[in-house]
Amino acid sequence: MAANQSKTLQQLVADLVELHHDNLASVILYGSTVAGANSNRESRHNVLVVLHRLGFDDLRLTRDALRGWKTAGQPTPVLFTVDELRRAADVFPIEFLQMENARQVLHGNDAFEFIEISQTNLRRQTEYELRTKLTQLRRLFVSGTLSAASLSALMSDSFSSFAALFRAVLILHGQQPPVANADAVRATVNLLGLDGLPFEWILKQRAGETRSPDDREVNAAFEGYLTQIARVIDVVDQLDQ
């Protein structure tokens, strides 16, 4: 962790402790920074704040504690009570698994120590999210004529969301998912025997490694992207049979 970000995290924890006192149960850093997949000094840090109670006054105190954190350009932490965290594992299995698989306790207890994620709930949420995001891609495409640049951007913008869901697919198949988006997608391609070309095309576009695509090229990539996502959904759907 970069020194300047470490100081930012230390200040966040200090501010939360000062304002919440014994009501603060845990502060947990999670995601790519913990896993070492992002060494950028300007990287965004994902933080979970767990409180014993979370009324309106506690929200106002949290807002006060986050002033320096927000000024530093960091994302707003996720807030839960201890009880909510334990009871919400059935509706947020993907999100909780992402936190659980790469986390560092900055203050208090490990909030995930006694949380169990149901494979059944994980499969259902994974299929729901995959179908929802595929439907959104289709709707955005048919809603109007998109330029090659706009359609390329649509794929690039959606890539991280699908990568997160592909991690859940890997878990459902008993594999430890990579933290990096590109690695998670490639692992899923290998596991399910997908055509990886559309995903590699998007990765090159995101990295700026290729020229601006023409209409024919980007439409072919989009067609392949939709087809491979649909194949992943079919696999997840069949896991329930």
Q: What is the pLDDT of residue 196?
A: 98
Return the percent helix, strand and coil in the chain, to nearest 5. 65, 10, 30
Residue 45 has pLDDT above 50, yes or no: yes
Helix (H) or strand (E) holding 67, with range, is helix 67-71
pTM metric for this prediction: 0.78
Instruction: Evaluate whether 24 touches 48 at the Cβ level (below 8 Å).
Output: no
Q: What is the pLDDT of residue 185?
A: 97
Domain boundaries, the chain: 3-108, 119-238
Residue 172 has pLDDT above 90, yes or no: yes
Fold of 3-108: Beta Polymerase; domain 2 (3.30.460)
**Mean pLDDT for the stretch of residues 159-174:** 95
Residue 140 has pLDDT above 50, yes or no: yes
From the list 224, 205, 206, the residue with the least C-alpha distance to 214 is: 205
Token pair 């965290």 in the structure block, residue = 85
Residue 160 has pLDDT above 60, yes or no: yes
Q: What is the pLDDT of residue 1?
A: 45
Q: What is the pLDDT of residue 57?
A: 97
Q: What is the pLDDT of residue 44?
A: 82
Instruction: Evaluate whether 49 touches 63 at the Cβ level (below 8 Å).
Output: no
Mean pLDDT of the chain: 91
From the list 45, 51, 109, 111, the residue with the least C-alpha distance to 81 is: 51
Name the H helices within 93-118: 93-101
Token pair 């845990």 in the structure block, residue = 26
Residue 5 has pLDDT above 60, yes or no: no
Share of the chain above pLDDT 90, in %: 76
For the stretch 90-123, pLDDT in tens is: 999 998 988 888 899 999 999 998 888 899 999 9
**Mean pLDDT for the stretch of residues 209-232:** 92
For the stretch 59-85, pLDDT in tens is: 999 999 999 999 999 999 999 999 999
Q: What is the pLDDT of residue 2?
A: 45
Return the higher-pLDDT residue of 222 and 210.
222
**Mean pLDDT for the stretch of residues 179-185:** 92
